Structure 1
Amino acid sequence: MTQRTRIRRNTALVGAFAVLLGLAVPVTATASAPPGRDTLAWTACESAAADPRQQCATVRVPMDYADPDGPHIDIAVSRIPSEKPAARRGTLLLIPGGPGGSSLDDPSKKGQKLPQEVRDAYDLVGFAPRGLAPSTAVDCGLEHGDLATSRLRPWPAPDGSVDENLDTARRMADACARNGGELIRHLSTANEARDIDRVRAALGERRLSAWGVSYGTYVGAVYSQLFPHRTDRIVLDSNDDPDPARVSRAWLAGHEQGVEDTFPHFAAWASAPGNPDRVARRAADVRPLFLRLAARLDREPIPWPGANPEELNGNVLRQTMLDSLYSPGRYPALARLMRAAQQGTVPPAPAAPPEPVLQNVAAVGAGTLCNDVAWPRTGAAYEKDVAASRAKYPLTAGMPRNAMLCAAWPYPPREAPVRITDRGPSNILLVQNERDVATPLAGALKLRQALGRRAVMVTVDSTGHDAYLANGNACGDRTVSRFLATGERPDTDTYCR
C-alpha cells in the first residue's frame, strides 16, 4: 500500500485532532464548466469506509488564483447521488471542520443520518480541501514531539512563560518553510471557497446548498460572501467568530469562554451518584479538584510510555479536558485520567492516527491558520494576553491567547481576510448549541450579527460541539431538516429548549 493510499484511508481518523488554528483584492474564481453539465469522471472510491454507492472524482484548480494559468492542483471530491431523482433539487456540499478536516467519506457517514427527504432532494458531496490527501498534499516534516496536540495548540509553561512556545513556533515554522513547498503558501479559507466554486461548476450546478460544521461555518460564510449568487440553502452548524481583524486568533481565544460554558455540565456528570467514573461527591468540588491535579502534575509529571509527550503533566491534563468537553460522550476519558492522576498512575496511552496523516493534517492546519491573518511577532504581546487570560480563566491557563507557530510564520498574508456582511440573499440558517467548548455561543452571535438579514439563528439548549444530528436536540434537528428539505426557515431567531 502506498503512503498516499494510507493517508487517504486514515484521514477520517483525525477529525477531532484538526481543531485548531490583508494585501490584495480577493480574486473571484470563474466557472470552469457551463452550468447544467457535469464534467467530472466519476469512479469507484478507494476508501474502505465508503458506501458502495459513493463515487469519487478529481477537480483541477489553480494553485494561485491570481495566476490562473500557472500550476494547478487536484481537489478530491465524492458523491452519493440523490436517492429519488424525481425529487432532486441539487447538490448539498458537506463542508468539513478543521482546518485539516476532510468530508470525503461524509456522504457515506454523517450524510446517511440526514432524513430521507433530504437525501432524496440532494446529491451529497464531500471533498478533501486543498493540501489534504488525497487532494494534492502538503507536509511540514515536523519533529514527532511537535505533532502532540499540546504543541500544535500550545500551552504556556506552568509559570505562565511563553518563551519555550516561541522557540517551538520558530522551529515548526522553519520546518514548514523548508518542507511545505509552494502550495503551503496558497492554503487559505478564501482559496478553499474558490475551490468550492470550481467544484460547483464542475458538477454543473448553477447554485450550491451546503452544510458547514465548525471551521466549515467560516468557509461557508466566506463562500456565501464571495459567491452569493451561487448559494441556495446554507446551514452553518457550530459557528466561528468571523472577526476580520483576528480570524483564527479569535477562534483560539474563544476556548476560554467555551470551557467556562461547558465545564459545569461535565462537573454535574462527574459528581452524579451511580456514575462509575465519578470523581467527586458534589459538582462544586470538581473544578477545584481539576485545578489541584493540574498544578500537582505541573510540579510532578507522571511517566506515560507510548504517549506523546511521554508524560502526564498539567498541560496534558488540560488538553485532555479541552478535547473531552467536545461531547458528553467523551467525558469518561477526562474523568478516568483524573482518577488515575489522583492515584499517581496513568491509563493506557491513547491511540494516535498514523504519523503521515498527522503530518499532513498539521501542515494544512498551520498553512490555513497562518496565511489567513497576520499574528503578532513579539513575545511581549503574548505575555500580556496570556497573563490576563490565566487570571480570568484558570481552567485554560492562558492557552487560548498563546503563541502558536503562526507567531513565527515566514510568509505574510497574500490578501486581507474576507469581511462577512449582510449583503446577499437571505438563505442562511445558523444552528448553535448553547454550551460548545470549541465554538462558543458568544462567537456564534458575532457571526449572526455580521450576516444580519441574510440569516436566522437557532440556539439549541444542549451541550457539545456539532449541533445538527449530533450533540443537539430534536427541536433543532427538525428545524434544520425542514429548511434543507423545503426551504422553510423560522421567521426570526429561535430557541430550541
Structure 2
Amino acid sequence: MTVDRRRKRKQRTIAVLAAVTGVLAGAGTAVAAPADPLARFSQQELQWKSCDDPGLDPAGAQCADVTVPLNYAEPQGRTITMAISRIPATDPAQRRGIMMSNSGGPGGPGLDFMVEVGSGLTPQGRAAYDLIGMDPRGVGRSTPINCGWPRGFGLHSAGVDAGSFAESVAMQSELAARCATAYGDALQHYNTRNTARDMDVIRGLLGADRISYYGTSYGTYLGAVFMQMFPERSDRFVLDSSVDPHRYGAGMLRDMGPANEAALDLWADWAAGHDGEFRLGATRDQVRATLVKLIERAGRDPIKVGEYLLDDHWLPMVPYVGLDDPRKYELIATQIRQIADAAEGKTVQPGPELTTILALVTEALPRDSSAQMAIMCGDVGVPRDPSWYWGNIEAARASQPVFGAFSNNITPCAFWAPPAEAPTAVGNSSPALIVQSTGDTRTTYGAAQAMRQALSGSRMVTLQDVPIHAIFGRYPNTCVYGAINSYFDTGVLPEADYSCRVD
C-alpha cells in the first residue's frame, strides 16, 4: 500500500471517528436527564393559613393544601388536593425534622391527629419535631370520596341465615356500584401506595430529607409501605397496633373474629359480675346467650331502638365498636340492656354513643365511609365468589357465634374493579418500633408479630393482658409510653423485644 493510500485511509478513519463522536455528542445532548415529571408538584409553594379547626387552632397549627397527581403514572393528568397541618417544633434550636402520622381506618381523617400524638410526647420530642397532620387522599379535606351510600358504613354482619347473607351480597354489590358510578376509573388511584407517594411529595415541600412517623392500626400498614418504597427517606417510625402486611384485606378482617370473641368473653365476665344492674345474665354463658338471642330476634323482626330499626346485620356492630377498650365495658352493657328492653316492647331512647352507632349503620349520612372501602379495595384484591364467604361464615359460627358472620362476610371489594398496582411486598431491614397489646380486637397480636418479622430491623414492645387497640395517646401506660418517647428522642431501639404490664 502506497504512502498516499495509507494517508487517505487514515484521513477517512479520522473523519468517521469524528462523525461518530459528533453523533454521540449530539445524542448526549438529546438524552440529557429528562425534566422531572413531578416538578410542578415538588416545586409548588405552600400557602399556610388558619386551619379553622377547634382542635388545631389553639395548638398553634397552620394548614395548607398540597396539589398531587391523581395517578402518579400520569403526572400531567388530573390532580387532587391533600390537606396538611403543621404544629411547629417548640424549640427551633433543637429541631431535627418532621413527624408525620396516620390515625388508621383506612379512611380515618388525620389533620388534627397530631394534637393527640403531641400530647404524649416528651418536651424533648416536642422541641425536636414539626408535627405534620394529613388527611389521606380521598379523606376529610383531601378531595374526599363520598359515594352517596344509603348508610354510612361499608362493613356489616352476614346475619343469622342464608337469607340474610343474600341481603348482604345485594347490599355490598350496591355500595360498590354506587362508587363506580360516582368515580369510575379514578377509584383505583385511591390506594396506600399513592398515599405514600403523597407523603414523599409533602416531605420534599417541607424541606426534610427524611420523615419520622407515628401510625396506628391501618396507619402501621401505610408506614410499612412507605418504608418499602422510600427506605432512604424513613427516619424514626413507630407502628402502634400493627396490621399483618401479608393478610391486609380479607385475611385481616377474618382475623378479627377470634380476637373479638375473646374480648367478648372478658366483657361477658364483667357483665355477669354486674347482673344486678344490667340483668344480662349471672354467668359468662348466660350473658353470651342473651346477646345471641337478641341477634336471632333481630333477624326475625328488627328491633326498634328509638327511631332506628336494628337487624341482625347491625346488632353485632354495637359490641364490636366498644370491645377495643376495656374501659367501655359499662357502656356496652348499658347499650345491650337498652336493646334488650326495646326487644321486649319498651320505649327506649338510646344514649348519644348508641345513637351515633345506629345512625352510622342504618341511615345515609352527609359523609359516608366509602373512602375506607376505596382504599382497601384499591390496595388488594379479594375473592369474588359469594360462596367462598358463605362457606367461611358457616364454618365460623360454632366458635364465633357473635362475630363469625361479621369478620367473614363479603365486602364491597368483591365487586370492585381490580387494583391498579400489585400490593407492596413488606420485608426489609428498615428499623421501626412496634407496640402492641396482646388482646387487640382490630389488629391482632399475631398481626403485630408478623409485622415484626417482616421488618427484620425492628423491635417490639408488648402490653400484656389488655384488649386495647391503639395505645399511645389513648391508653396511658408508663412502660409503653417510655419506649415510644425514648425512640423518638434518641433514635435508639431497644436491644431486644420486651413486655410491659398494666400500670
Instruction: Give the TM-score taking structure 2 as reference length.
Output: 0.84
User: Equivalent pairs: percent with the same residue?
Assistant: 34
| Matching residue of 1:271 | 272
CA distance in 1 between partners of 2:86 and 2:424 (Å): 29
Q: Structure 1 residue 170 and structure 2 residue 173: aligned?
A: yes
Match of 2:453 among 435, 449, 453: 449
| Matching residue of 1:476 | 480
CA contact (8 A) 1:261 1:436 kept: no
CA contact (8 A) 1:272 1:278 kept: no
**Matched residue of 1:107: which SS?**
helix
1:432 and 1:313, CA in 2 relative to 1: closer, same or farther beyond 3 A?
A: same
**Matched residue of 1:206: which SS?**
coil
Q: Which segment is superposed worse, 324-333 or 189-198? A: 324-333
Q: Structure 1 residue 218 and structure 2 residue 221: aligned?
A: yes
| Matching residue of 2:61 | 54
Match of 1:180 among 180, 183, 186: 183
How far does residue 69 in structure 1 lie from its aligned partner after superposition? 1.6
Q: Structure 1 residue 90 and structure 2 residue 97: aligned?
A: yes
Q: State the AA in 2 paired with 1:154.
A: H
How far does residue 40 in structure 1 lie from its aligned partner after superposition? 2.5
CA contact (8 A) 2:260 2:441 kept: yes
Q: State the AA in 2 paired with 1:317.
A: L
Match of 1:369 among 370, 373, 376: 376
In the TM superposition, 1:125-136 aligns within 5 A as 125-136=132-143
How far does residue 218 in structure 1 lie from its aligned partner after superposition? 0.4
Match of 1:203 among 206, 215, 227: 206
**Matched residue of 1:471: which SS?**
coil
1:275 and 1:71, CA in 2 relative to 1: closer, same or farther beyond 3 A?
A: farther
CA distance in 2 between partners of 1:253 and 1:56 (Å): 38
| Matching residue of 1:325 | 323
How far does residue 318 in structure 1 lie from its aligned partner after superposition? 0.9
| Matching residue of 2:303 | 302
Aligned residues: 454
CA distance in 1 between partners of 2:286 and 2:480 (Å): 33
Q: Structure 1 residue 112 and structure 2 residue 119: aligned?
A: yes
Q: State the AA in 1 paired with 2:116.
A: K
How far does residue 33 in structure 1 lie from its aligned partner after superposition? 8.0
Match of 2:355 among 350, 370, 387: 350
Q: Which runs of 5+ in 2 are unaligned?
A: 1-35
CA contact (8 A) 2:70 2:80 kept: yes
Match of 2:238 among 235, 238, 241: 235
| Matching residue of 1:390 | 397
Q: Which runs of 5+ in 1 are unaligned?
A: 1-27
| Matching residue of 2:25 | none
Q: Which segment is superposed worse, 465-474 or 194-203? A: 465-474
1:76 and 1:29, CA in 2 relative to 1: closer, same or farther beyond 3 A?
A: farther
How far does residue 226 in structure 1 lie from its aligned partner after superposition? 0.5
| Matching residue of 1:194 | 197
1:174 and 1:311, CA in 2 relative to 1: closer, same or farther beyond 3 A?
A: same
**Matched residue of 2:487: which SS?**
helix
**Matched residue of 2:383: which SS?**
coil
CA contact (8 A) 2:249 2:382 kept: no
| Matching residue of 2:156 | 154
1:406 and 1:254, CA in 2 relative to 1: closer, same or farther beyond 3 A?
A: same
CA distance in 2 between partners of 1:441 and 1:101 (Å): 22
Instruction: Give the TM-score taking structure 1 as reference length.
Output: 0.85
Q: Which segment is superposed worse, 278-287 or 202-211? A: 278-287
Match of 1:44 among 35, 46, 50: 50
CA contact (8 A) 1:132 1:361 kept: no
1:438 and 1:269, CA in 2 relative to 1: closer, same or farther beyond 3 A?
A: same
| Matching residue of 2:339 | 341
| Matching residue of 2:6 | none
How far does residue 367 in structure 1 lie from its aligned partner after superposition? 1.0
Q: Structure 1 residue 465 and structure 2 residue 472: aligned?
A: no
How far does residue 313 in structure 1 lie from its aligned partner after superposition? 3.0
CA distance in 1 between partners of 2:279 and 2:55 (Å): 35
Larger Rg: 2
CA contact (8 A) 1:160 1:387 kept: no
CA distance in 1 between partners of 2:407 and 2:51 (Å): 39
Tell me the C-alpha RMSD between the 2 structures: 2.7
CA distance in 1 between partners of 2:483 and 2:415 (Å): 44
Match of 2:130 among 117, 123, 135: 123
